[in-house]
Each structure stands twice: as structure tokens, then as C-alpha cells.
Amino acid sequence: MWLELPYISKDPTFDNAYRYTHQGYLITGYVYSNLIDAYKSYKELKIFAENLSKDTYVAVDFQLDNDDTWYKIEDYFDESPISERYITTAKGITGKRIRLRIWFYTNDASKTPLLKAYVVDTVVQATVKYSYTFNYRIVNNDVNLLGEQEDISGYDKQKIIDEWAANLTPLIMYSAKSRFNDKAVFISPTASNVMKAIDDGYVESIILIER
């Protein structure tokens, strides 16, 4: 077996006498969009390439997540400098990672597609975190839910809440309602919102975010 090398130039694309085989392919690494654990919606693929035409074109297969099967993108990429195609006929597919098998075809042995870059059009869905908004009261000489006198001033109570928010302190939220009970949360660092002033203090709004 042997492989011919270009002799007019070290770069075969500058050697008019160099001949190309009718097909070849490369397999890319997995695309994670820098978020390994997040779900992504893959919609379109853009191919940036030279020499694309009806006779010299690119075809693409893809694998999603841990699939062993290659799935074909139906349409060829045959327009330079940019060809854009939907990855699936449903105009979108969801997974955590994707990789491509890019095929190069030519019907003219003197030409070959020249791939410059590819772009996978991706929408990333970060992990869904629920938030809870409720009102609370800041007053002096307040009583707790058991009707017992509290031994902390309204000012000191708000100071603790502000420190928890500033430091993203991990908290556990308890509630008589099972839907809101035993939730791991932190206080949103956004400023609390004064709903109204009352005779000896304030009613404010706070946001807890599930962690």
C-alpha cells in the first residue's frame, strides 16, 4: 500500500496535480458547551467550508449521549462558504452531549471539500431550581409561632437574614405544608422588599432558592 504525496507544494490543496479519493471522514470530540451535566437542545449545524458544490459536498452523522448508533442529517452541505442544516427533521433534539462524523465526498478527483469550522446551534438548559417567595415581619418584642416572646430585636433579626443572604448560607426550610417542608435553600442575595410599614416595624418580602 502507498500514499501519494504532493510534489508542487507541501500543501496538497495548492497542488493541481494531486488526486483525492472519492470519500473520507473524521469524527469530532463530544460537544458539551462547557456544561457537562446540563441538558442541551441541538437545533442546527453550520459547516464553514470551501469548494462545496453538487460534486464536492459534506454529509454529517451524529451520536447523542451514549448512543452507539449514528444518525444521519438528511440534507447534504453543498454551499460555500456556509451551509446550514437542521440536525433532525423535528428541528431539534435534546441531550447532554453530541459528536459528529463528518463525511467528505467528491466526484472530481482534482477537488476536495476544505472544512474550516463547524458550529452546533445549541440552547442550554441549566438545572431547574425552584424559588419560594413569602412575606415576613420585622418588629421588636415579637412572638414566635408558639406564642412565645422572642429575645431578639427586629434589627438583629434582619441583620442575621442579611448575613445569610450575603454569604449564601445553606439553610433548611421547614413548613406545615409538605410541599414546602424540609427544603434545602439559600436566601437570594437580592435586597429584601419592604411591603409596608407598620406601627413598630416592617413587613418585607424574601426569596428562597432551592439548592
The model's pLDDT over 143-166, given as tens digits with 9 standing for 90+, comes to 887 888 888 888 888 888 888 888
pLDDT at 199 over 70: no
Residue 119 and residue 19 in one domain: yes
Q: What's residue 192's pLDDT?
A: 60
Q: Which of 90, 110, 125 is at the close of a domain?
A: 125
Q: pLDDT per residue over 84-112, tens digit each?
A: 999 987 777 889 999 999 999 999 998 89
pLDDT at 193 over 90: no
pLDDT at 196 over 90: no
The pLDDT of 33-43, averaged and rounded, is 84
**Sign of the CA dihedral with 165 first, then 170, 174, and 180 last:** positive
Q: Which of 102, 125, 148 is at the close of a domain?
A: 125
Looking at beta carbons, which pairs linking 167-171 to residues 24 or more positions away fall under 8 Å? 170/211, 171/208
Domain extent at residue 68: 15-125
Residue 77 and residue 25 in one domain: yes
Residue 104 and residue 57 in one domain: yes
Asked if residue 8 is part of any domain, the answer here is no
Asked if residue 3 is part of any domain, the answer here is no
